[in-house]
Amino acid sequence: YAAIAARTKAVCFGSLAQRGEVSGTTIRDFVSQVPDTALKIFDINLRQQFYSKDLIEASLKLCNVLKINDDEIKLVAQMFGLQGKDEENCEELLHRFNLKMVALTCGTDGSYLITKEASSFLPTPKVKVADTVGAGDSFTAAMVVGLLTGKSLKETHRMAVNLSAFVCTQHGAMPEYTRELIT
């Protein structure tokens, strides 16, 4: 898979898929071979007991973009002895692990995209929720599209918020949508 890794423009990985020794080693090995110019998104996904501080730290050292939610930032802050507000803790992780960006989603309370140069907050659109499954992944997917196509931080954030809100109005994690949602 070295040839695939060398051509990769973006890779997204999480902690849950790394819970097994073989899958964890394979994921970390692949991500380590992806060029530094690529987006290496760690969508943390802390579930039950399937994570450790060592796993989180190793993944933070491999990634250059962190996607985390408001529950997960509290756990990670506790792990790393961070005592600020959620946004401050995201900024601390950004600097501590030399990340390009941290995306913090807070459910109905909005979301943040944080870089070293700028920060964007957007409220969560009020929609009739049918199903929240897939909302976080759709946020991440639209964010990647925005970053890869050179959109501004605000444009990228708006695309992520809009797609995520749309997914919440649909049943199932992968509804059909129009291109206009992510342009």
Q: Which helix (H) or strand (E) holds 122?
A: strand 119-122
Report, as an integer, the average pLDDT of 95-105: 97
Reduced 3-state DSSP string for 73-110: HHHHHHHCCCCCCHHHHHHHHHHHCCCCEEEEECHHHC
pLDDT for position 180: 76
64-89 pLDDT, tens digit each: 999 999 999 999 999 999 999 999 99
Binning pLDDT at 50, 70 and 90, where does residue 9 land? Answer: very high
Report, as an integer, the average pLDDT of 4-14: 96
Strand-strand pairing, 119-122 and 111-114 = antiparallel
Query: Is residue 49 scored above 90 in pLDDT?
Result: no
Distance of alpha carbon 136 from alpha carbon 161, whole angstroms: 10
Query: Is residue 182 scored above 90 in pLDDT?
Result: no
118-138 pLDDT, tens digit each: 999 999 999 999 998 889 999
Domains recognised in the chain with CATH numbers: 1-124 (3.40.1190.20), 126-183 (no CATH)
pTM (2 decimals)? 0.92
Distance of alpha carbon 129 from alpha carbon 170, whole angstroms: 8
Distance of alpha carbon 30 from alpha carbon 20, whole angstroms: 15
State whether the Cα torsion 140-144-146-147 is positive or negative.
positive
Query: Is residue 50 scored above 90 in pLDDT?
Result: no
Query: Is residue 174 scored above 80 in pLDDT?
Result: no
Q: Which of 117, 111, 114, 118 is nearest to 158 (CA)?
A: 111
Query: In whole numbers, what is the pLDDT of the chain averaged over residues?
Result: 93
Binning pLDDT at 50, 70 and 90, where does residue 96 land? Answer: very high
pLDDT for position 63: 97
